[in-house]
Structure 1
Amino acid sequence: MNSIDYLRISLIDRCNFRCQYCMPEGTELEYIRQQDVLSQEELLLLLRDVFVPCGFTRFRLTGGEPLLRPGVVDIVRAIANLPQTQDLSMTTNAFLLAGMAQELYEAGLRRINISLDSLESDTFDKIVGHQGRSRWQQVWKGIQAAHQVGFDPLKLNVVVIPGVNDHEILDLAALSIDRAWHIRFIEFMPIGNAGLFQDKGWVPSEAIRQSIRDRWGLAESSVRGNGPADVFRIPGAKGTLGFISQMSECFCDRCNRMRLSADGWLRPCLLNESEQLDLKTMLRAGIPIADIRSQVQHLVAIKPEINYKLRHSGTTGVAYARTMSQIGG
């Protein structure tokens, strides 16, 4: 079992996109009220006095869309400056990144994951739920800006949806050949989008790998990250290909992460809503930090048991109260 040292931090539940797999059409979201979002001071207090003492040293900032969070650069700088921080990264849709990449890098952010589910503007806009002027070009500018600034590794996340973007698998994989970019193919999951999932289904990672293997060949890579991806490389490519396969190749037994929502709920697993801690309410109620830390330590201690149960029971019949954007994907 890996050490549980990786915390995904949702800075905001709002997003400027409405992706099919994250906020399905017809879904009415109740956004967190501003006063219920963890303040920067509360977040840093929890990191410094609760999470770091519990062994967390690796942090990823997520959303919604984290670049919408007021003061995001200051938050990055503060976390980067914690002496115990060994790794700080961010997941973004890159729509606002072109104008912020340099500032984020100078604040201490070094790694970035960008959602790019299509290289075709029409398909991209269909996935992100935008009508009107295409957003693809602005996202591509953000990717180019991140590359030029020096983010390394620069990872592009692709959620593969049957009948929507699965025809682009080879084109997306080819981005790793001439650039030191890491393309990560993610199996479509039923998190708050059960109707869409039942309609579209999902493409197993092995099927994706086989199509790439048939075109170029595929070799396992010595590169390993902090997360659940199985990493491969097209022979001679500068970058890598990662496969996140929760649906077909459960990785619960090697999960080293927990999730903190924008309103302060600590969740031991993306797929688990039964064991959670409401850290914001505890903090604002004046519960001593030592007591909060003790409860977090207990949740960390039972996470391997939660992982084991999920590995053997899967997601069959599970309904989720929050969508991916509300959890902090």
Structure 2
Amino acid sequence: MNQVDYLRISLIDRCNFQCQYCMPEGSELEYVRRQDILSQDELLTLLREVFIPNGFTRFRLTGGEPLLRPGVVELVRAIAALPQTQDLSMTTNAFLLAGLAQDLHDAGLRRINISLDSLEPETFDRIVGNRGRSRWQQVWQGIQVAHHVGFDPLKLNVVVIPGVNDHEVPNLAALSIEREWHVRFIEFMPIGNAGLFQDKGWVASETLRQQIRDRWGLVEATVCGNGPADVFKIPGAKGTLGFISQMSECFCDRCNRMRLSADGWLRPCLLNEIGQLDLKTALRSGIPLSEIRLQVHQLLSAKPEINYKQRESGTVGAYARTMSQIGG
């Protein structure tokens, strides 16, 4: 079991997109009330007094869409300034990134993951829900600005949905040839989208690798990061290709992360709610930080068993909560 030192922090459960694989069209979501979201002071207190003493040194900011969080640049600066922070990254849809990229970089953010599920504007808008206007160009501009500012590595996340965007895998992979971009193909999962998953299914990473291998060849590679991707590259390419295979290849034994939701729930597993802790209520109820720290330590100790139960089940259940509500 890997050392668990990586915390994914959801800053907000709201998003300005409604992606098919995250918030299917027509779904009725109950967003967390603003007063129920962890404040900046509460979040920083938990980091300093609970998570860092338990060995967490690497943090990723997620959502919903984290750039919707008021004061996000100031929060990035505060987390980056913590002496124990060894790595700070963010996952975003990039719709608001062009206007914030330089400020985020100046505040101490160095790595960024951007969702880019299609290079075809019509397909992209169908996936993310265009709400009356195209989103692709503004996202593409955000990617270009992030590249210009100097985020390294700059990763592009692609959720591969059969019959929707799987035909674009070679073109998306080609983005890594001339640019130091790192394209990551993610197997479609049934989280908050049971109907779509039953209709579409998923494509195994090895199938995608073989498509790329047949066209260009493929060799093993490495890239900076904390996730479970298997990393390859097209021979001679400047960037890399990652494959996250949560459906076809269980990687519970390599899991090094926990997830903190925007409203303060600490979850040890994306697909398993055993042992989750309500840290917000504990904090606001005046429970001593030493006791909260101990509860998190005990959950960390139980994580291998939680992962084992998930691994033994052999299946991924369809979850009512959406990815935006879990925190990605």
| TM-score bin, normalised by smaller chain | over 0.9
CA–CA distance in structure 2, aligned partners of residues 194 and 31 of structure 1: 20
Counterpart for residue 326 of structure 2: 327
CA–CA distance in structure 2, aligned partners of residues 314 and 261 of structure 1: 26
Which amino acid is 1:5 matched to?
A: D
| 2:161–2:200 contact (8 Å) kept in structure 1 | yes
| 2:153–2:224 contact (8 Å) kept in structure 1 | no
Counterpart for residue 101 of structure 1: 101
Structure 1 segment 2-151 matched on structure 2, within 5 A: 2-151=2-151
| 1:190–1:197 contact (8 Å) kept in structure 2 | yes
| 1:224–1:231 contact (8 Å) kept in structure 2 | no
TM-score normalized by the length of structure 1: 0.98
Counterpart for residue 207 of structure 1: 207
Shift of 1:224: 5.3
Which amino acid is 1:30 matched to?
A: E
Counterpart for residue 281 of structure 1: 281
Shift of 1:192: 1.2
CA–CA distance in structure 1, aligned partners of residues 185 and 59 of structure 2: 22
Shift of 1:175: 0.2
Shift of 1:313: 1.2
Q: Over the residues paired in the alignment, what is the CA RMSD in angstroms? A: 0.9
Counterpart for residue 311 of structure 1: 311
Which amino acid is 2:15 matched to?
A: C
Shift of 1:66: 0.1
Gaps in structure 2 of 5+ consecutive residues: none
SS in 2 for 1:227: coil
Shift of 1:113: 0.1
| 1:271–1:315 contact (8 Å) kept in structure 2 | no
Shift of 1:319: 4.2
What are the superposed Cα offsets for residues 43-69 of structure 1, whole Å, 9 maximum, x if unpaired? Answer: 000000000000000000000000000
TM-score normalized by the length of structure 2: 0.99
CA–CA distance in structure 2, aligned partners of residues 222 and 129 of structure 1: 34
Change (3 A) 1:222 1:130: closer
Counterpart for residue 159 of structure 1: 159
Shift of 1:133: 1.8
Which amino acid is 2:93 matched to?
A: N
CA–CA distance in structure 1, aligned partners of residues 19 and 325 of structure 2: 13
CA–CA distance in structure 2, aligned partners of residues 80 and 324 of structure 1: 26
Which amino acid is 2:321 matched to?
A: R
Of the structure 1 ranges 126-135 and 152-161, higher mean CA displacement relative to structure 2 is found in 126-135
CA–CA distance in structure 1, aligned partners of residues 255 and 210 of structure 2: 25
| 2:274–2:306 contact (8 Å) kept in structure 1 | no
What's the % identity of the aligned pairs? 82
Shift of 1:290: 0.4
| 1:229–1:242 contact (8 Å) kept in structure 2 | yes
Which amino acid is 1:264 matched to?
A: G
CA–CA distance in structure 2, aligned partners of residues 57 and 224 of structure 1: 15
Shift of 1:222: 3.6
| 1:113–1:156 contact (8 Å) kept in structure 2 | yes
Counterpart for residue 170 of structure 2: 170
SS in 1 for 2:269: coil
Gaps in structure 1 of 5+ consecutive residues: none
Counterpart for residue 241 of structure 1: 241
What are the superposed Cα offsets for residues 245-295 of structure 1, whole Å, 9 maximum, x if unpaired? Answer: 000011110000000000000000111123200000000010000000000
Counterpart for residue 183 of structure 2: 183
CA–CA distance in structure 1, aligned partners of residues 13 and 133 of structure 2: 24
SS in 2 for 1:53: helix
Count of paired positions:
328
CA–CA distance in structure 1, aligned partners of residues 224 and 253 of structure 2: 16
CA–CA distance in structure 1, aligned partners of residues 25 and 17 of structure 2: 12
